[in-house]
Structure 1
């Protein structure tokens, strides 16, 4: 539950910073959201890969059965009587999607992009969603490691990341490490004094956190995306102006 509490508090603090405004606060907000996103991805990967070593053994047995010319799974005592056996070729494809090699596991554990790639492969989110996550993470790296902040876009990036993180919370199917119900949650209690906090539920907080953010409706998301696009187009105009004039009137937008 403590990990759920930390994630919820991080998004809540990000909301507070976004409402207060200012480039420095937007920068911190983006870093909080990126950390939350990576932890959510890690929780989901850990849950799906917790029995990876057992799955690898079964995958090897499926491959061996296919080599022997077998075509269907052998029934077990746990199968329903009216359930048809699965085709081994389908089982092999499913296992190849769900399992990860030792090398991939190491990368999933330590890097952002492999987590995204693994979950995309398993249909947790779409290729478009995955591309947005990767781009926002790269933007976070710019502002965190290189202190490269783009004032015209950092606010929009943080708002968009808020929506993405809350969406990840909704999709969350994991509970983290099970704990007793009696574990105190003072920070969650302060944020949600009227609620009982279930140690297995993270998704229940997503709608509330989004509603308290500056991007609480689809219309506001669309507005943010439009403003972001306009800012990027203005940057492009400046770049074109620089190229066309070889820098002689840099900063003056060329009006075609």
Structure 2
């Protein structure tokens, strides 16, 4: 119950911060939600580890026994155990933790939710470690993360389902009409109370799947438009280039002084490249399709798939634009005698 109380207070604070609907408070809400998701995942993981330990213990008892029955039992038990490397990854890496929990046979959550957790954790890392926030999609990310935290809470695995009175901090969120547990004296089981808390937050946050899909679609389409505008600016600076050639220049631009000293590659104009103008058009078409998706988490998965490719070409394009801007400014300064 104490663990659930801490998670409930954390979600309550994330909700309070999200209501400011600005970047400084929204960033903190995202950090709190990411931590809440990881904590609930780790509780499920700990409960699942009891079963893993049991199977590993049974497997050790078969050491030295080479009967047909023992080999058959060993083949059945081994897939239910973990190597030291796998345990270490689950303990240290968020993605491995997600895969472990969602890979359990008893897990009924959609695989798309696992992908969303990894995507949002990546956004959290950018916000936490480098203070980078996609302001246009922050509100949508918070709504989706609330939805995911509630789903995790409702599907949490328990080794022992505790039965006790609800802590005051949990009852407080329900206001004047707190629920009564199904056990004698109104006590709750951890699972029962966790489900009630998750359901309350799902209703309170009112996840707008249609709006989120629209926001993600518009954000991505706008970034592709900005990318094409930058490519046209590069083409204008290096006439007679057009957008296709500017896109080639961006992808084959030297990455360091040593590479620049070697000059342009011999197959500069013929080398097949991953991103062409047709690919850009395809990204834009896919971005517009996101608007028609009916669930926020499926929209986020589609968004992240395209966004990762867009980001990969945005970085060298923006770097070349900055270089052009510096050269233009230097030319202006020289003409002014600076």
In the alignment, the residues of structure 1 paired with residue 10 and residue 99 of structure 2 have an alpha-carbon distance, to the nearest angstrom, of 24
Aligned pairs (5 A) from 1:1-256: 1-61=1-61, 67-70=66-69, 88=73, 91-92=76-77, 95-96=78-79, 98-123=80-105, 124=107, 125-174=109-158, 178=162, 181=164, 185-193=167-175, 194-196=178-180, 198-201=188-191, 202-215=194-207, 220-246=208-234
Select the structure of larger CA radius of gyration.
2
Q: Which SS does the other structure have where 1:21 is aligned?
A: coil
In the alignment, the residues of structure 2 paired with residue 203 and residue 151 of structure 1 have an alpha-carbon distance, to the nearest angstrom, of 31
In the alignment, the residues of structure 2 paired with residue 175 and residue 186 of structure 1 have an alpha-carbon distance, to the nearest angstrom, of 24
| Cα deviation, residue 192, structure 1 | 2.5
Q: When the two structures are aligned, how many residues end up with a matched partner? A: 228
Residues 84-127 of structure 1: CA distance to partner in whole angstroms, max 9, x if unpaired?
A: xxx748733xx51x432223223322331111111222142443
Conserved 8 A contact 2:59-2:74: no
In the alignment, the residues of structure 1 paired with residue 50 and residue 6 of structure 2 have an alpha-carbon distance, to the nearest angstrom, of 22
Name the Cα RMSD after superposition. Answer: 3.0
Conserved 8 A contact 1:167-1:206: yes
In the alignment, the residues of structure 2 paired with residue 32 and residue 48 of structure 1 have an alpha-carbon distance, to the nearest angstrom, of 24
In the alignment, the residues of structure 2 paired with residue 213 and residue 34 of structure 1 have an alpha-carbon distance, to the nearest angstrom, of 16
| Cα deviation, residue 195, structure 1 | 2.4
In the alignment, the residues of structure 2 paired with residue 208 and residue 70 of structure 1 have an alpha-carbon distance, to the nearest angstrom, of 51
Conserved 8 A contact 1:176-1:200: no
In the alignment, the residues of structure 2 paired with residue 24 and residue 10 of structure 1 have an alpha-carbon distance, to the nearest angstrom, of 17
Distance change >3 Å, CA 247–CA 18, structure 1 → 2: farther
Distance change >3 Å, CA 48–CA 175, structure 1 → 2: closer
Q: Which SS does the other structure have where 2:132 is aligned?
A: coil
| Cα deviation, residue 187, structure 1 | 1.4
Q: Which SS does the other structure have where 1:235 is aligned?
A: helix
- Of structures 1 and 2, the one with the larger relative CO (CA 8 A, separation 6+) is 1
In the alignment, the residues of structure 1 paired with residue 229 and residue 62 of structure 2 have an alpha-carbon distance, to the nearest angstrom, of 61
| Cα deviation, residue 64, structure 1 | 6.6
Unaligned runs of 5+ in 1: 73-86, 250-254
| Cα deviation, residue 163, structure 1 | 1.0
In the alignment, the residues of structure 1 paired with residue 199 and residue 225 of structure 2 have an alpha-carbon distance, to the nearest angstrom, of 38
